[in-house]
Amino acid sequence: MSATCNENTFSRIFKEHVSALRNFLYYKFGDYEQAEDKTQEAFIKLWQNCKDVPIEKAKSFLYTVAKNSSLNEIAHQKIVLEYQKTSNPISRTNENPEFILEQEQFHEKLMNAINNINETQRVAFLMNRIDGKKYHEIADELGISVKAVEKRIHLALIEIKKEIKNFR
Amino acid sequence: MEEDYKLAKWLNNELSENELDELKKDADYELLENIKNQSTLLKTKSFNEEKMLAKILAAKKESKVVSLNATNWIFRVAASLALVAGLLFTFYQFNTETIIASEKMAILLPDQSEVILNKNASIEYNSLFWNFNRKLELNGEAYFKVQKGEKFQVKTSNGTVSVLGTQFNVKTEKNIFEVVCYEGKVKVETKNNTNILTKGMAIALENNKIKESTTLLTEPKWNNTNFVVEFSNTSFKDIIEKIEKTYDVTIQTNFETHQSFTGKIPTDNLNVALQIVASTYHLQIQTKNSTEYELIVP
């Protein structure tokens, strides 16, 4: 029997990939509920087909299912992202109000820019910035070459820069 | 002409010093830096992973429902037998052990037989029934030291290996199936063949053809406990690749050379491995993080 059908093994695979997969779908749709639903669907498919999917193929299976499930979906919604809390509370209280305001304004411009760029560029860019994925990992998960990933990230930066400069 | 996506390389800290200086001259450089730094701080909303996992596990294919036509006693007997079988099955399932080796590891089975799993190999067996039926499933590569006793079976997707007290190595991957017998006797059954191997004999299955060979080793090379790999006239590029693969790290370097390497590199000490290569080629090691290194010409 395939090891994927073992509950402990499957749980391990789940914990390893669920967060990045949910995020990937969120970057595409901008809708948390849909992203969670599609993530759950993908894992259920893996669980139901566990005997035909060996462990080493599980990740590729999940991403393939997730990508294909997005075909008939509602139009892209706006993505909303927050900043992580800085780990050093002392440094925050030392920041002057002007700096904080500037940061908030920049955040607004940045989010607006991220939402306005091309979907493929956005997804690759956020997979790198938020999930910390290396270019070859992104290439693997999206089924494209590393060069193609570099192109998307390069263009994303150019477009984001343009959008921020043109803001308001 | 191949496109060079400079900004992607810049974002990944891959630009050379010259290229970086050039970029810094750009009027928009500060904006780019802001984008880089602020985007690193972004995060998505968290969600209840445990709850999702529970829902997923519960969504197994629904079992067939047999509708009982009340008066027929045969149905009732069948139903209770099914219930007993179901319980036994569940009981069996609870004692299934699955072991996946992220790096070489040794496992002792309930009868004191030993299995040494190579990196990324996995086995599955039932601990409760082991002493009645020594049967396990293998994916990857493992070396077995079997205690004398009743049948011991190793099932793989490519074939089954059965033995009496003995020592042997099985390697199974999608299209590869290799069995080497180091001691005793094993029987190897594949789709179209059955082979008996004794000490020193080996077979490999390639494209459904069986190839026989012999070995003078007393245990598989990969089980070498010295944790050292020997290189002879190996190119600099290949050494770097081997270290990257062995330790699962990335090593950047712009250094190129035709000078080949002969010597030993440890497989259990990354720092020493890097030091050896760095001193051989007069390079400096830069550590970016625990999985990223760079070798530069000082």
pLDDT at B99: 84
Hey, are the CB atoms on B61 and A158 less than 8 Å from each other?
no
DSSP H/E element including A105: helix A97-116
Ranges under pLDDT 70 in chain A: 1, 70-76, 85-95, 168
Does the predicted model carry a pTM greater than 0.80?
A: no
Tell me: pLDDT of B64 over 60: no
Read off the pLDDT band of B265 (50, 70, 90).
confident
- What does the pLDDT look like over A41-71, one tens digit per residue? 999 999 988 888 888 889 988 998 888 776 5
Tell me: pLDDT of B75 over 60: no
Contact residues, A window 25-84, toward B, CB-based 8 Å cutoff: 26, 32, 36, 39-40, 43-44, 47-48, 54-56, 81-84
Q: Which has the closest alpha carbon to B171: B161, B185, B183?
A: B161
CA distances from B7 to A37, A124, A165 (A): 35, 14, 17
Q: Burial of B281 by CB count in 10 Å (0-12 exposed, 13-18 middle, 19+ buried)?
A: middle
Hey, are the CB atoms on A153 and B34 less than 8 Å from each other?
no
- What does the pLDDT look like over B151-183, one tens digit per residue? 888 988 888 888 866 788 888 877 778 888 888
Give the mean pLDDT of B72-99: 63
CB proximity A147 to B under 8 Å: yes
Tell me: pLDDT of B12 over 90: yes
On chain B, the residues whose CB falls within 8 A of the CB of A85 are none
Taking all residues of chain B, what is their mean pLDDT, rounded to a whole number? 81
The CA distance from B68 to B83, in Å, is 14
Hey, are the CB atoms on A157 and B42 less than 8 Å from each other?
no
- What does the pLDDT look like over B202-223, one tens digit per residue? 888 877 778 888 877 777 777 7
Give the mean pLDDT of B44-52: 92
ipTM over 0.95 threshold: no
Hey, are the CB atoms on A15 and B49 less than 8 Å from each other?
yes
Read off the pLDDT band of B145 (50, 70, 90).
confident
From the candidates A157, A158, A165, A167, which should be mutated to test the interface with B, based on the most B CB atoms within 10 A?
A157
